[in-house]
Amino acid sequence: MGRKARSAGMVAAALIAASPALADDDDPRFCPTRPSIGGSSCTTEPGRVHVEASFLDWERDDQSSQREDRIVASDLLVRIGVAAKTEVQLGWTAFGQDRTRDKESGEIETIRGTGDLRFALRQHLAGEKGKPFSAGVEAFVTAPTGKYPVGDGTWGAGVIVPVQYDLTEKVAVSFTGEADAAPDQSGSGRHFAVSGITSLRYKFSEKVTTTAEFSLERDQDPEGHETRALAAVSTAWRPTKTLQLDILAVAGLNRNSPDFRLVTGGAILF
């Protein structure tokens, strides 16, 4: 855990150290995608950069024959504004560890490595400041720079379509649809996967926001078709106008879903 803790600490220190110099901006468009498991139509302003990071991401999947624990540290996403309503994204997982324990034999297998590179283009389609409705589209491709199970082992691609409606100044509902050419578990091909995420967001104040979500995903991997159902709750705190710290908890609702996931991280706008 020492290496992961150092990586998380370095990222956290960088975010906090950079925040005072940026706190005097009048009204920056600061709209991190995290910690929600859904998407967002909000894009980075031209000439500015969002940097988002997971300090620690732990997922547990407890099955009848084995228990799997996956830990990811320094999961980075960089969003760069290139036009008034367009941004490009680069994502990468700096470190991941997958630990599997066989319950019958007690044998433990641990795999460590880096994750895949993710390239994306996000376009804001509808919605202006002060208007209740917004929508966008995001297309992405992943390059196999990491090995399974930290990485996918082959390239993948997909399209994300998020829509949101603000019911009041404090309450908003949203839906994110996604269709992927997802990498096969074998690492040698791709298959169709589709998901939908429904979200309810409540803004306690300008600094604190909480979001509850429900996700349903259908995955048609050749090794076994599965439907996964998840429930999530997250909270974001913004001590300044350009810095966010957040936490996300996800629970599996059926036997095909991982049992639990806990993510801590943050975002900063340059």
- Are 244 and 235 spatial neighbours (Cβ–Cβ below 8 Å)? no
Distance from C-alpha of 43 to C-alpha of 230, rounded to nearest angstrom: 27
Once rounded to an integer, what is the mean pLDDT over residues 183-200? 91
Average pLDDT, the chain: 89
Whether the pLDDT of residue 120 is over 50: the answer is yes
Distance from C-alpha of 220 to C-alpha of 217, rounded to nearest angstrom: 10
Q: Which residue did the predictor score with more confidence, 18 or 213?
A: 213
Q: What is the pLDDT of residue 1?
A: 47
Q: Read off the tokens for 177.
A: 């649809």
Going by pLDDT thresholds of 50, 70 and 90, the confidence category of residue 139 is very high
Going by pLDDT thresholds of 50, 70 and 90, the confidence category of residue 76 is very high
Largest Cα separation within the chain, whole Å, is 60
The alpha-helical segments, DSSP class H, found in the chain are 2-22
Helices then strands, each counted (H, E), the chain: 1, 13
Q: What is the pLDDT of residue 152?
A: 87
The string of DSSP letters for 161-227 reads EEEEEESSSSEEEEEEEEEEEEEPTTSS-EEEEEEEEEEEEEESSSSEEEEEEEEEEEEEETTEEEE
> Looking at domain 2-269, which of 2.40.160.40, 1.10.1060.10, 3.40.30.10, 3.40.1480.10 is its CATH number?
2.40.160.40
Distance from C-alpha of 228 to C-alpha of 244, rounded to nearest angstrom: 30
Whether the pLDDT of residue 9 is over 80: the answer is no
Once rounded to an integer, what is the mean pLDDT over residues 183-202? 92
Once rounded to an integer, what is the mean pLDDT over residues 233-238? 98
